[in-house]
Chains A and B, each alone.
Chain A
Amino acid sequence: MAATRGPSVKWFSRVLLAYSPAHILLSRRGLLTQAPTRKVFYIRHIKPVNLTLKNKKFIFLVGWLLSGLLHAAVLPEQRMDVLYHSYDGGGMEINGPAVLVRKNLKEKYTISGHHYIDKVNGASVDVMSYASPYVEERQESSVNLGFLKDKSLFSVGYLTSAESDYDANSVFFDVSQDFFGDLSTISLGFSRGWDEVGNSSDENFSKEVGRRNYRIGFSQILTPKTILNLGFENVNDEGFLNNPYRQVRYFSNTNFYEYQPEIYPETRTSQAYRLGVIHYLNYGASLQGSYRLFNDTWGIKAHTYEMQYQQRVGWWTYSGKLRFYQQNNANFFSDLFPYEDFSDYLARDKELSTFQSQVVGVGVSYRFKDFKPRGSDHMSINFFIDHLQFDYDDFRDATVTEDGSRIDAEDQPYYQFSANVARFFISLWY
């Protein structure tokens, strides 16, 4: 009824900020999940108002004037997340904490960083065939600086990851630009990475990997409730791409099979294409679906299909998702080669085999209605759990033996495993 009397100033301030194209575009790119200011956040809690045609025109006019003044003067939301993750399956337990912090400065700059720890205990079936479980820790950190200029967002960053036998460092640069009445966003990015591969059983072992990523993204508002996203990424690797511990097996007349180190090509180029659509449902829900096509110069082709549904009920948000993945093997993969040094390149990694996987995931988030730490705007607690199932078509379980003795490789079953991936995290907006 308020609209028939003309919207109040308070109401107006909320609407205009929420209608800011920059806010919308940042939101849908995942840079904003809540509105950027305290005032705007409450936009979704405003009671529905029947706008008259006159009011609509007025809001449209003022909105555009304001958006012209503001340009994209809204930075990603300021937030902090503290997460604990747990992976359990396939002979491996991996868990640890992670933290992500983002802060804006002078309404023009944004800085963010994250730190992430993996504590690994166990070993996958590839390693268990000829080695023992191990305990290891991986730490990953990044820092990212962003600069907003009119409708363009520039960002540069540095990421480092360290394990006892593997160090990875990369720098990245991204720029995104809104156009076409802010219904469209195009983004371009480039990363350059340098990895150093070690071997825990040979301290003199040291190999290098160089990596270049080129990516382009395009986002288009199709309707007031639908957004289309397209993505493309090309990755070039060069260097030691093997895993120094993994081995391939070849046929043996005397002992069924023997092992030798795997040999990968020293270059790899891959392309990934992604198409995604997200649609708003009027009863406080959204549905999104995506498809990704992947191929590389090793002969691998893969398809990924994902669907996710989110439903808000009061201060709670529930989500469910399905993910299907299928890939064929690399052209130098074999579970059992006919003889030693069969070809120039040899691989028996299950990641390069033919397999499919399914993921079912559910999650719940609760945004505190009244409670919030001093200095913050609001906070939420979140719990998500995914169940993963992997089924391999040409990779056999070499750990299957008979009374501790090897058996014919063809008598070993194709490998399969399942895993549960749980995450609990607290998010704080300020």
Chain B
Amino acid sequence: MRLFLLIFITIFQIGCNAQPWVKPYERDKLADPLMSTAPNPIDSGYLSHVYQSREASRGAEGTSGGGCGCN
């Protein structure tokens, strides 16, 4: 938790004191579909459910699901 807060605050500090350093014309690579963390939402949603049904962990996956399906 402390480490997470430290990273979070550090980034905010940098953000408050710096100017945007990546110019719009430098962002073509970022727009590439390869840079999407969840290029196929229907697939990532399904996999999250597979993991949630078999592990105690939950949350912070970026997808939602419901039900039990855990027997």
**A contact residues vs B (CB 8 Å cutoff):** 15, 18-19, 21, 23-24, 27-30, 32-35, 43-44, 51, 56, 59-60, 63-64, 67, 81, 83, 85, 87, 94, 98-100, 114, 116, 118, 120, 123-124, 126-127, 134, 136, 138, 140, 142, 159-163, 166, 168-170, 172, 180-184, 191, 193, 197, 213, 215, 217-218, 220-221, 223-225, 227-235, 243, 245, 270-276, 278, 280, 284-286, 288, 292-294, 296, 298, 300, 302, 304, 310, 312, 317, 325, 327, 330, 351-352, 357, 382, 384, 386, 390, 421, 423, 425, 427
Contacts and interface: CB of A to CB of B under 8 A. Distances in A.
Q: Kindly name the residue among A120, A181, A274 whose own CB sees the greatest number of chain B CB atoms within 10 A.
A: A181
Contact of A124 (B26, B35, B67, B71): B71
Contacts of B31: 18-19, 23-24, 27, 35, 43
Nearest to A98: B42
B70 A223 contact: no
A134 B34 CA distance: 41
Interface string B52-68: 01111111111011111
A221 B30 contact: yes
Q: Number of contact residues on B: which range applies?
A: 35 or more
10 contacts: A33-B40, A34-B33, A35-B31, A81-B41, A138-B67, A138-B69, A166-B67, A233-B60, A272-B57, A425-B43
Interface of B: 1, 4, 7-8, 11, 15, 19-47, 50-51, 53-62, 64-71
A89 B16 CA distance: 50
B34 A285 contact: yes
Q: Is the interface of A mostly helix, strand, loop or mixed?
A: strand
Contact of B57 (A85, A327, A421): A327
B11 A351 contact: no
B38 to A, nearest CB: 3
A140 B66 contact: yes
Given A28-B37, A193-B66, A81 B60 contact: no
Contacts of B8: 218, 230
Nearest to B44: A30
B34 A280 contact: yes
A223 B22 contact: yes
A270 B42 contact: no
Contacts of A285: 34
Given A224-B22, A234-B59, A30 B54 contact: no
Given A302-B56, A352-B56, A166 B47 contact: no
A294 B51 CA distance: 14
Contact of B28 (A43, A140, A193): A43
